[in-house]
Structure 1
């Protein structure tokens, strides 16, 4: 009886195309929609938002900001993400940060190709080229959350 039951389950699975993997997203895909965005100078408690949308070429557009209404400090991001792996993204575009106590309050603009990694158990990808335009070992933690 058990053999017949297993054979029936196997037949149903084959006919419907169901596998245990069918429910899982492909390894090189991102969840489309709104994601949190933070820059440590602005706030980790009040994240901004980015919109991630899949493009026809397989990359993902990403655009959004986090802004402190009181101080005017901010981070903005606008460009394209390529999924290297679930924990690694390549970004091509522009990231702008401004914090009143860093870089003499001037905007730090980075345009080009950059890398985001999710290390360990983190639930976000962090910009790896994190040096602020000021130099002096000042870094910007720009994070995009899963």
Structure 2
């Protein structure tokens, strides 16, 4: 009877540990494929698309854009994402924005490491380094939707 009890207890410990590991692993994954992508100056109603693909090293590549054909305004993203938590991503790469009424219509180029957070009940991650190149408290809301 003691052997059965020990075997059962051992199995519970192993399975519980595996379950915790599996939950942590699942928490640090992204859904691969197309995601909506927006810059508020262009439109939230007509999102662009980004493609997210898992790489061998556990990070994700991201590439895509949102464009307004009528005005030529756009936001593009190209780089790598690391999942910090289900609601926090670190991005390394290049983000470009252009809106004709901001920064004298010039492209705002951001290259480096940036952070995306999903706060509260939001269903998207928002770029936290949102200052536009123009300055003057002008911000770009660059969003990647779940």
Q: TM-score range by the shorter chain?
A: 0.7 to 0.9
TM-score normalised according to structure 1 size: 0.84
Aligned residues: 131
Q: Which has the higher helix share?
A: 2
Q: Which runs of 4+ in 1 moved over 4 A?
A: 19-25
Q: Show the counterpart of 1:11.
A: none
Shift of 1:23: 9.4
Shift of 1:137: 0.1
Shift of 1:25: 7.0
Q: Show the counterpart of 2:133.
A: 133
In the alignment, structure 1 residue 111 sits paired with structure 2 residue 111: yes
In the alignment, structure 1 residue 29 sits paired with structure 2 residue 43: no
TM-score normalised according to structure 2 size: 0.84
1:90-101 maps to which residues of 2 (within 5 A)?
90-101=90-101
Whole-Å separation in 2 of the counterparts to 1:70 and 1:129: 28
Q: Show the counterpart of 2:61.
A: 61
Whole-Å separation in 1 of the counterparts to 2:127 and 2:81: 12
Per-residue CA deviations over 1:123-145 (Å, capped at 9, x if unaligned) read: 00000000000000000000000
Shift of 1:117: 0.0
Whole-Å separation in 1 of the counterparts to 2:74 and 2:137: 20
